[in-house]
């Protein structure tokens, strides 16, 4: 069955420290993976997608098919990065399966 696992429900780091939010997936086909983010009092929105191979707000994520992972990284955390982060897997037909989410808190 298709599944997305985010092992950390809560993650707290200090401003300026590196951040890594973990995401592992289970899917027999060719995966398309995304990170969505929800800032306080805002809507869920796309942060980045692996197919674009882009860096958004200093975040990057590399698809590792061998480890079935798509971890989100940022070298220097900023206070405005505090939010809920969801990893999502597309199984085709534009259908997404979301992980449970990680609440990231950046301490000053």
Partner 1 sequence: EAGVAQSPRYKIIEKRQSVAFWCNPISGHATLYWYQQILGQGPKLLIQFQNNGVVDDSQLPKDRFSAERLKGVDSTLKIQPAKLEDSAVYLCASTLAGGYNEQFFGPGTRLTVL
Which residues here bind partner 1, judged by CB under 8 A? 4, 9, 32, 43-46, 49, 51, 86, 88, 90, 93-101
For residues 83 and 31, give the distance between their C-alpha atoms in angstroms, rounded to a whole number: 25
DSSP H or E segment with residue 11? strand 10-14
- Closest to partner 1 by CB, 74 or 85: 85
Cβ proximity of 69 and 24 under 8 Å: yes
Minimum Å gap between C-beta 19 and partner 1 is: 19
DSSP H or E segment with residue 90? strand 83-90
- Closest to partner 1 by CB, 74 or 90: 90
Minimum Å gap between C-beta 70 and partner 1 is: 14
For residues 17 and 8, give the distance between their C-alpha atoms in angstroms, rounded to a whole number: 17
- Closest to partner 1 by CB, 77 or 89: 89
Minimum Å gap between C-beta 46 and partner 1 is: 5
- Closest to partner 1 by CB, 45 or 78: 45
Q: Mapping DSSP to helix (H, G, I), strand (E, B) and coil, where does residue 20 land?
A: strand
> In the 8-state DSSP scheme, what is residue 64?
B
Minimum Å gap between C-beta 54 and partner 1 is: 12
């Amino acid at each position: 069955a298709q599944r997305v696992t985010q092992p950390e429900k809560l993650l707290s780091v200090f401003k300026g420290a590196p951040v890594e939010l973990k995401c592992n997936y289970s899917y027999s086909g060719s995966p398309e993976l995304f990170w969505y983010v929800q800032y306080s009092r805002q809507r869920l929105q796309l942060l980045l997608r692996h197919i674009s191979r882009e860096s958004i707000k200093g975040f990057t994520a590399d698809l590792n098919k061998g480890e079935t992972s798509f971890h989100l990284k940022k070298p220097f955390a900023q206070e405005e990065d505090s939010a809920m982060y969801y990893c999502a897997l597309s199984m085709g037909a534009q259908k997404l399966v979301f992980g449970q989410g990680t609440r990231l808190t950046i301490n000053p």
